[in-house]
A and B are shown apart, each in its own frame.
Chain A
Amino acid sequence: MNNNRITLRVWGDYACFTRPEMKVERVSYPVMTPSAARGMLEAVFWEPQICYLIDTIHVVKRGRWFSFRRNEVAKVIQLGSVKVWMEAPEKFKPIQADDPGSKIPPKRESTRAQRNMLALQEVEYLITAEVRPTELGKQQPLVKYFEEIKRRARSGKCFHRPALGAREFAADFEYEEDAVAAFARRRQELCASQQPYDEDLGLMLYDVFALNDRAIGFQWLPEEAALTDVRPAKGKGKPAAPRFAGVQAEPQAVFFHAAVKQDVLDCHPDRVRFARRNND
């Protein structure tokens, strides 16, 4: 056991932790996923020198199911089309979000699609995560990053606004010293029933990368930038080094067997059972 753990209390009016098997009409998992929890911590603070391993998620408020249908567009921006428009602006075509059934002229080609979303309403969680140094951060004292996270979470600073699964479901957060104590306190404040929440959730998305890749350190770089150095080469005849010498990791869904026991979803990789396609 080490003490490099931080706890963040997060809450919001709505949440949707979309199940990957049902992404046309979004359906949320009943509980926050470890990847969503990681995303929230990273919204507050993250540097390539550290990574978060989600330890446990305390379910303070489970929330209620909530269904919602909105008009969306079924099209994404095609990179190829953008390149054409850059050269010939007169060929530009916006994405039309008109009602396709509309009888009012002019008739346009519309890509509007009505999509449903089964989300959660009024949720609150306590995220406890272990802060680990990556290969890039081995030389630095971890306490430096640890203190920075604490400082930010305490004073409400964040790199960008954290969200519960989707950006329209913005979340608030607060630093908590101790997850168990905070959980007991919140339960009392909410006058919630003391009936513990137990549920076997089956397979749940753990994250979108293999854990071992993450431990190396992690940077999103466009292909060109990963291979070329933008810094001027120092000294005579010194070849420009690549900006990042690591392996290029591709997104890869990893699932685990999730079960909420006594209000707690345990998700530390040392303690959970992963489902993998090939035993690597």
Chain B
Amino acid sequence: MSTILTNRHDFLLLFEVTNGNPNGDPDAGNMPRLDPNTNRGIVSDVCLKRKVRNFIAEFAPARNGNGYGIFIQSGPALERTINEAVDKNNKSAEAAVKWLCREFYDIRTFGGVLSVGNEVMKGSAYGQLRGPVQFTFGQSFHPITPLEISITRCVQTTIKEEDKERTMGNKHIVPYALYAAKGYVSPAFAERTGFTQGDLNLLFEALLHMFEHDRSAARGEMVVRGLYDFEHIGTQGETNAEQNKREARLGCAHAHKLFEGIKVGLKPGREFPQSFDDYEVVCGWSDGNLPKGVKLNKLSEG
């Protein structure tokens, strides 16, 4: 069992879609999500969290003190039984919350809302369990042009259509788009839910591989093109470990400045991105110019 996470992390995830629908919009007949003001594509935070959950449910590591159950399940994930019951005498609310955090990876990571059975406290901070990891919406770098593709189906979906030979269907695709989503990990909440360094490593593993185990005709090809993890380690020398620990918890630099160092643009002469080859991703950070106390882990690049 590894230790509770002590360092702040800010990470940037770059991913692309080719001829697929990364995240459908229920408001628009499952068209790819689109920001009507800028025509840039959007992938919701919950969509990314779903993929992380599905990955963990499928590739849960062996129990090591903490369990890796998934509380909010979807699809035909394997039913996992929890093998370890706890002390029957301890029935306090606090013990129940601790148990939830210990057994379920998604609660330990993303938090959850508890019903405390008290009308006054309902929905208040009292019943909220805030998780250390938070995702923002993924946004494409350039406007996307969703296409509606009509298909013929030789299998009928309703009994009424049974005598027909073929029916028509449609699906939406984005020919190509590169998206970026930001993530933040706050150690202050990791202490509350018991989120460990091992859990964080597992989260990164899930982010790197989640699309590989989520293939479907609708989603086309989705590939992670970059995962930049800024780890805050503290600006003090080794002699001042205590102060370093405090700094690593709160962070050593503005997250927006760190993210701004990773520049994504089109190569000269390219106007409309059609593949990752049209993009130029330049990481402006090197050991020499990174703000003091910050370490960049390039978990995936290009």
Residues of A within 8 A of B (CB): 13-14, 64, 66-73, 76-80, 82-83, 85-90, 92, 94-98, 106, 114, 116, 121, 152, 155-161, 163, 167-170, 172-174, 208, 220, 222, 224-225, 250-251
A-B contacts, CB under 8 A, total: 152
Query: In the docked arrangement, what's the CA distance between A169 and B95, Å?
Result: 31
What are 20 residue pairs bridging A and B, where the CB atoms are less than 8 Å apart in the complex? A14-B137, A71-B26, A72-B46, A73-B72, A79-B93, A82-B114, A85-B99, A89-B83, A94-B72, A94-B73, A98-B75, A106-B76, A152-B250, A156-B251, A157-B250, A157-B251, A160-B188, A168-B46, A168-B136, A170-B184
Q: Which 4 A-B pairs have the closest CB atoms?
A: A156-B254, A160-B186, A89-B82, A157-B250
Q: Nearest Cβ distance between residue B102 and chain A, in whole angstroms?
A: 10
Q: Which of B79-126 contact A (CB under 8 A)?
A: 81-86, 88, 91-97, 99-100, 107, 112-117, 120-121, 124-126
A116 touches B27 (CB 8 A): yes
Q: Which residues of B contact A251 (CB under 8 A)?
A: 120-121, 124
Chain A residue with minimal CB distance to B249? A159
- Quick one: given A90-B81, A156-B252, A250-B120, are A168 and B135 in contact (CB under 8 Å)? yes
B25 touches A69 (CB 8 A): yes
A82 touches B85 (CB 8 A): no
A170 touches B27 (CB 8 A): no
- Quick one: given A76-B115, A250-B121, are A86 and B96 in contact (CB under 8 Å)? yes
Q: Nearest Cβ distance between residue A170 and chain B, in whole angstroms?
A: 5
Q: Which residues of B contact A85 (CB under 8 A)?
A: 82, 99
Query: In the docked arrangement, what's the CA distance between A80 and B91, Å?
Result: 10
- Residue B280 interfacial (CB < 8 Å): no
A77 touches B113 (CB 8 A): yes
Query: In the docked arrangement, what's the CA distance between A79 and B93, Å?
Result: 7
In the complex, besides A68-B27, A79-B117, A98-B75, 8 extra interface pairs with C-beta distance below 8 angstroms are A64-B37, A94-B70, A97-B72, A158-B251, A161-B184, A168-B45, A168-B46, A208-B124
B85 touches A88 (CB 8 A): yes
- Residue B219 interfacial (CB < 8 Å): no
Q: Which residues of A contact B85 (CB under 8 A)?
A: 86-89
B93 touches A170 (CB 8 A): no
Query: In the docked arrangement, what's the CA distance between A210 and B27, Å?
Result: 39
- Quick one: given A82-B100, A86-B96, A250-B121, are A220 and B126 in contact (CB under 8 Å)? yes
Chain B residue with minimal CB distance to A208? B124
B251 touches A86 (CB 8 A): no
Q: Which residues of B contact A157 (CB under 8 A)?
A: 247, 250-252
Chain B residue with minimal CB distance to A159? B188
B186 touches A161 (CB 8 A): yes
- Quick one: given A71-B26, A86-B99, A220-B126, are A79 and B115 in contact (CB under 8 Å)? yes
